[in-house]
Amino acid sequence: MDSTYDGYGAVLAFLLILLPLLLIFALAGYLISAFFLMRIFEKAGVEGKWRAWVPVYNTLVLAKLGDLSPWVMLGAVVGSAILSQVPVIGWILSLVAIAVGVMVGWRVGLKLGKDWPYLLLWLIPGVGTLIWLGILAFSSARWNPNIPPAPWANSFLKDTTVWSGIPQQPSAVAAPGYGYPPSAPGGPAVPPAGYEPAPGYQAPPSPAAAPPATPPAMPPAPAADPPSADPTPPPAAPPANEPPADPNAPRR
């Protein structure tokens, strides 16, 4: 009995020492990752450094920068955390959360000039994600949101949510190809709400105006001048009762 109690005491003492260390490492990891996210958010033009320090919310902001709906990200994270202990369902949701994270990481990396092989750093247990975030945070590459749309740009995974202070990514809302959807057939292109163009970008010129449906009316012809009056009036006719004058009579 004494040996059994001694064994329990040793395990309890080990846990009392291990748990504080785990909490310290978890807190340090979170602070480091939040600092790296703050640097990435600054590059992307996100307003307010505080967004990088709010748990869960900073992940939703990163999802928007990665052209993924923040609500899809929230569902994957919360669902995986709550149902992680449920057989089968918890395992499936954990895979979904990992897939969503890879999608966001791939898109954010592309906008900072880093392709998918950098995501292999995530395979390093414990510190892989921190190394990846540190490379993106301190790289000299500038943020470039003008990359081809994501493969899921036409599905429910796309980001159409507009949050104040977070620039809407054109690659998340643009139709396949390049440019903005026109406001009306033949009308000028209008950027989506909340979009902020990259430095030096110039919008394409508006299409030429269509010719009028009916030709303009011709000006009226000038009116003809009235005939000029004869300056010498004709002689007056003799009165009806007066006899005609004698042609042989001398003139007065």
Predicted confidence band of residue 71 (pLDDT cuts 50, 70, 90): very high
Question: For 25-53, what is the mean pLDDT?
Answer: 93
pLDDT digits (tens, 9 = 90+) for 87-114: 777 777 788 888 999 999 999 999 999 9
Q: Where are the domains positioned within the chain?
A: 2-159
pLDDT digits (tens, 9 = 90+) for 159-200: 999 999 999 988 765 444 433 444 444 444 455 444 455 455
The pTM (predicted TM-score) of the whole model is 0.63
Centroid of chain to Cα 216: 42
pLDDT digits (tens, 9 = 90+) for 141-152: 999 999 999 999
